[in-house]
Amino acid sequence: MPKYMLIMRGTDETNAKMADASFDEMLETVGRFNEELIRAGVLVAAEGLEDPSQGVVIEFGGETPVVTDGPYGETKELFGGFYLIDVASKEEAVEWGKRLPAFPGSKCEVRRVPGIDEFPQDNEWIVRERAWRERTGQL
């Protein structure tokens, strides 16, 4: 089955709403959704991210990368976390995405994660990656 990433994106406004929300209620809501994914057998991984003010951006625009500490200037949409799910189709991934516990104004981007079998199997780097995935139990 293909894997899809549900990328949670918020704005400054939705992130502020989340900061004001009850942490216990948020854990309860997210925990219930996570449990649904687990019971359905589709959850591969899920992680939230620390506040953007604690991160950095590395910009590759010139000869050397430039590192900028957060918080950032104009932020329209911030990547706040993700779910990696293993489902039969894009449509099923979208259905799970529509059920995400999210604040009004947030967005969820749904992107398929190509599998290693979709790359040229005679490529040296793919051969090395496949061997690593086999050693670590990922294949």
Q: Does 74 have pLDDT greater than 70?
A: no
- Mean pLDDT on 21-40: 91
Question: What Rg do the C-alpha atoms of the chain give, in angstroms?
Answer: 18
Kindly report the number of other CB atoms within 10 A of residue 107's CB atom.
15
More confident: 71 or 90: 90
Beta bridge partners of 5: 84, 111
- Mean pLDDT on 96-113: 90
pTM of the model: 0.81
**Local confidence band at 123 (pLDDT 50, 70, 90 cut-offs):** very high
| CATH number of the structural domain spanning residue 16 | 3.30.70.1060
Q: What is the mean pLDDT of the chain?
A: 88
Q: Which domain range does residue 127 map to?
A: 3-135
Residue 44 buriedness (CB in 10 A; 0-12 / 13-18 / 19+): middle
- Mean pLDDT on 2-6: 93
Provide CB contacts within 8 A for 103, sequence distance 6+.
10, 14, 17, 18, 21
* The two three-digit tokens of residue 137, written as one number: 């139990």
Identify the top-confidence range among 12-16, 47-51, 119-123: 119-123
Number of structural domains the chain divides into: 1
Report DSSP letters for the chain, one per residue: --EEEEEEEE-HHHHHHHHHS-HHHHHHHHHHHHHHHHHHT-EEEEEE---GGG-EEEE-SSSS-EEEESSPSS-S-EEEEEEEEE-S-HHHHHHHHHTS---TT-EEEEEEE--GGGS-TT-HHHHHHHHHHHHTT--
Q: Does 132 have pLDDT greater than 70?
A: yes
Q: Does 73 have pLDDT greater than 80?
A: no
Q: Does 45 have pLDDT greater than 70?
A: yes
pLDDT at 68: 85
* The two three-digit tokens of residue 122, written as one number: 């005679």
pLDDT at 87: 96
Name the residue with tokens 């999210």.
102
